[in-house]
Structures are given as C-alpha cells and as structure tokens.
Amino acid sequence: MSQPHPRGPQLARLASLLADETRASFCLALLDGRAWTAGELARLAGVAASTASEHLSRLVEGGLLAEERQGRHRYVRLAGPQVAQLIEDLSGHAAPPPAPRTLRAASAGEAMARARTCYDHLAGRLGTAITDAMVEHGLLRGAEGFALTDVGLAWFRRLGVDLSAASRGRRPMARSCLDWTERRPHLAGVAGAALCRHALDAGWCARIGSQRALRVSEEGRRALRDLLGVRLPE
C-alpha cells in the first residue's frame, strides 16, 4: 500500500492559512512591503479587532508573517521576500477579480494596474515595461527566468546603485515574478528591489496615499525614456 508524501500535511497546513478570505486579504495588503497594525488590517478587511488578532496569530505561527510590538501596538509584515513571492505568484494564477462596481473602485484598480509596488519591486504596466526594455537593451537575460548581464551590472553602477552588498544574502540577484494584472513577468530579486528603491528615492515615482499604487513623475518619465527608451502614456 502506498504511503502519503511526508510533506503532504505541511503543504496542506500552509494552504489552509491562505484558504480564508480575511487572511488572504491581509497578506495581499502587506505586499506593499510595510508594517501594518492589527487595527489597520481589521478596518481593511471589515472585521472586528479580536477576529483580526486571531487570524494574524495563525499567520505568524505559520511563518507567513513576522510581528513586532511597540507599546500597545502590534505591527505585522510579511516574513520576507520568499513569502511575498508566494503570495504574488498565487495571485497571478488566480482568476481575475470581478469588474469594479463603483467609479472609485475602478479608478483604484486602474491605478494599481498602471504602476504599483509588488512587495519591494515595481509591478503593473510600469514594471513590465521596464523589464521588457531591460531585456531589449541586453541588461537582462530572460530566456529561462531572469539573469542580470554584465552590461546590466554596469548599467546599475552608472545609475549609482551598488548591488554588491545586497547580493551577499540568499536572495537571487534577478528573479522573474508573474504580474497578476499584466499576466507577464516583471523583475524581482535584489536588482528589482534596488531599482524600485532608487525610483522612489530619486523621485521618479511616489506612492498614492497608503496604497501600493504609484504615480510616475515627469522627472521619472524623462529618466525612463532617456535610460531605457520607455515611453509611458500620459
């Protein structure tokens, strides 16, 4: 008689953590890369604070979230880039969300599709346009996954971005991440995070309120056009 796979129970427990709509909503919100309080997440999901606390405890115990406490406040964030990759990949394979019912929801959805952060890298049409341009200019090799070329490393150095220190960890230098709105890959990994950080620090992009959506500045449009030939619609 065949035996069940020894990792079957662990995979089932992991899947059960995301099988609840409230917990899934928490993880998706935390893809903005920042720490949220339990109260903020409770208001986002429309649940009681006690309910949110119970769900967050399960996510922390399951290793998907990390928490820290400051006084009376409990902050949580995704446990790391590997968890962010898991959440985003699953979102990319999920069915598209239903059409928005209000103008406000439609505007918010369009802003997210246009330009947003995916944990700590750029996504949406902005992210895929930059990634396509990097491949076209030979900065990124994308035949089987993504790999930064020597030309790409030199391009980052000219940009004033040092990838050497960040590349000493276990995180890959470049990684393909399936974009859930574009259904195509965008750049993640050390290089993707560094480019996103530079875009925000240089004022190329700015966050829209507290959302993951980004607004590209005129300076950012010029920089992307001059550096990569990326021409974004107005």
Which is higher by pLDDT, 110 or 124? 124
- Residue 167, pLDDT score: 60
Domain boundaries, the chain: 8-79, 85-228
CATH of domain 8-79: 1.10.10.10
Per-residue pLDDT at 234 exceeds 80: no
Nearest to 196 by CA among 32, 86, 27, 30: 32
Give the bridge partners for 78, in sequence order: 65
Look at strands 65-70 and 116-118 and give their pairing: unpaired
pTM, two decimals, is: 0.80
DSSP classification of residue 94: S
Nearest to 152 by CA among 139, 141, 143, 137: 139
- Residue 92, pLDDT score: 76
Angstrom distance (rounded) from CA 211 to CA 192: 19
Mean pLDDT of 51-76: 91
CB 14 within 8 Å of CB 62 = yes
Q: Which of 3-17, 31-45, 56-70, 208-222 has the lowest mean pLDDT?
A: 3-17
Nearest to 195 by CA among 173, 217, 171: 173
- Tell the residue number behind the tokens 């993640």, with chain if given: 188
The tokens for 128 are: 């895929």
- Residue 102, pLDDT score: 80
- Residue 145, pLDDT score: 79
- Residue 210, pLDDT score: 62
Per-residue pLDDT at 1 exceeds 60: no
Radius of gyration of the CA atoms of the chain, in A: 19
Angstrom distance (rounded) from CA 180 to CA 108: 15
- Residue 168, pLDDT score: 63
Q: If DSSP codes are grouped into helix, strand and coil, which group holds residue 175?
A: strand
Q: Which of 9-23, 50-64, 131-145, 161-175 has the lowest mean pLDDT?
A: 161-175
Hey, which of 5-14, 29-38, 73-82, 133-142 has the most confident mean pLDDT? Answer: 133-142
Q: Which amino acid is at 211?
A: Q
Angstrom distance (rounded) from CA 101 to CA 99: 6
- Residue 149, pLDDT score: 94
